[in-house]
Structure 1
Amino acid sequence: MGFAEEHQRWLEYHKKRRTGERLDRLDRGHRHGEQMFVERVWWPIFGKLDDLHPEYEVADWRGRPYFVDFVWKPGQVKFAIEIKGYGPHVQNTDRTRYRQELNRETYLQIAGYRVIAVPYDDLESAPEQTISLLKALLTPCLLKTSSEGSGQFSRIERDILQMASRMNGMIRPVDVVKQMGINRRTAIKHLTTLGDKGKFKPVLTPESNRICRYELVQSMIDSEIW
């Protein structure tokens, strides 16, 4: 599944779980800058949108609702990600609003979030710089998570993942059968299990809606897991 389809599916998933102001804020808040971040930075790093929550509601230090552009919660750690344009955040003439914004960021850190500010201009002109910085920041947390859960992959599952990587991310049950010398039922069982673990997405044939192959979900920590 490509980015456009996955992005739409991801948005619909979150919209279905919201009502009232939380739904309205998602409609109003997830705009050009936020969409650029997801497409030009997040997707190239992860190849998926799991655990990323758009327009995430938290309470500020006064108990009032506040919506963070993105919150990422892959496990025990949680990050608050804000897309910041030059005008609204630097040339803001409303000094009270500016102070409140800074206080919110401090409070988010008190509440256990690591706060990331992403310049809007970099998303347009230099997304690779943001990608590099985020990788350096997030990789230690991802490696900790993967080392704790790396045992979830059996030897044969790791072999299948490596095989899919060599085949440009697409693999069929028949490929597993030929390469690994196992029967088709066992191959499908392992591919399905890896799909349940978030490493494969089934690709359906348009005519019959049957699974014809599996698409590898790339991750920047694949080398550590495999």
Structure 2
Amino acid sequence: MSEFEQAHQRFLDDHLTHRIGERKGRLLRGHKYAEKLLLQNVWWPLFGNFDDLHPEYEIYDWNRKSQFLDFAFLPPHGRFGVECDGFQSHIKDMDREGFSYSLNRDTFLTGMGWKMIHFSLDDVQHRPEVCRMLLQLVVGPHLLRSAPPPSLSPDEKEVIQLAIRLGRPIRPKDLIAQCGLNFRTARKQLHSLAAKDILRPIGRGTVVRQYELQPEAWQHLL
């Protein structure tokens, strides 16, 4: 059994263990070929895990009518509904009332703070790289927000404070003059803060002579 197959089985077993009634029945009935293929071709190659992902997730519309999303992705920042739509079942066999309801449901969920992501079964089967690119485009910024802030040494925090006081781009010679550092240590600290995306290098080509604070740099002092 492949690593994906093992992880997928654990994923389903865990959710089945914690569900009862219709929610459990819906998972048993609804998580089939298309949903598994979406995980195998799109989700697993991109993330390598099923953290914060919930299959056959129950939501309610504006009339408190129960509906189920193929998947809900619920990281610390953001709520995403992920659907795999087959042409036959979702479009060709849909009547006008069903078509209107589908559009209104997505609009309602958008108003409630959800981001809805739809993939066609054809793309999941034959063009999964496009699906992965689009999925990453939508959820990537939210995952970056949920990443823990980098740890800073007292010396690095002192550099940030000095840059704030200067009110202009900071240079190695500022650290030499104000903090008593030698050039090598001053440059190393500035490089470290740039690598943590707290300072932005300014220069021409590969020559960097000064650094400016990123807009949210002050938050690292809290």
The TM-score normalised by the length of structure 1 is 0.64
Cα distance in 2 for residues equivalent to 1:83 and 1:152 = 39
In the TM superposition, residue 90 of structure 1 has moved relative to its aligned partner by 2.1
- Structure 2 counterparts to residues 68-107 of structure 1, below 5 A: 68-107=69-108
Displaced runs of 4 or more, over 3 A? 150-154
Cα deviation 1:84-138 (Å, max 9, x = unaligned) = 1111222234221221111111111111100001111011111011011111222
Contact 2:56–2:68 (CA under 8 A) maintained in structure 1: yes
1:122: which partner in 2? 123
Task: Tell me what 2:14 maps to.
Answer: 13
* In 1, Cα distance between equivalents of 2:48 and 2:14: 17
Give the corresponding residue for 2:27.
Answer: 26
In the superposition, relative to structure 1, how do residues 152 and 69 fare at CA in structure 2: closer, same or farther (>3 Å)?
A: farther
One-letter code of the match for 1:137? Answer: V
Percent of matched pairs sharing the same residue: 39
- 1:53 is matched with 54
Q: Which residue of 2 aligns with 1:145?
A: 146
Q: Which has the higher contact order (CA 8 A, sep 6+)?
A: 1
Separation in structure 2 between the aligned mates of residue 153 and residue 65 of structure 1, nearest angstrom: 47
Secondary structure of residue in 2 paired with 1:18: coil
CA 1:104–1:150 in structure 2 vs 1: closer, same or farther (change >3 Å)? same
Q: Larger Cα Rg: Structure 1 or Structure 2?
A: 2
Q: What code does the residue aligned with 2:103 have? A: L
Q: Deviations over 1:150-190 (max 9, x none)?
A: 44799xxxxxxxxxxxxxxxxxxxxxxxxxxxxxxxxxxxx
Q: Match for 2:36: what amino acid?
A: Q
Structure 2: stretches of 5+ with no match in the other structure: 154-222
Residue deviations 1:56-83, cap 9 Å, x none?
0011111011000000011131101111
Inter-CA distance 131–65: structure 2 relative to 1 (3 Å threshold): same
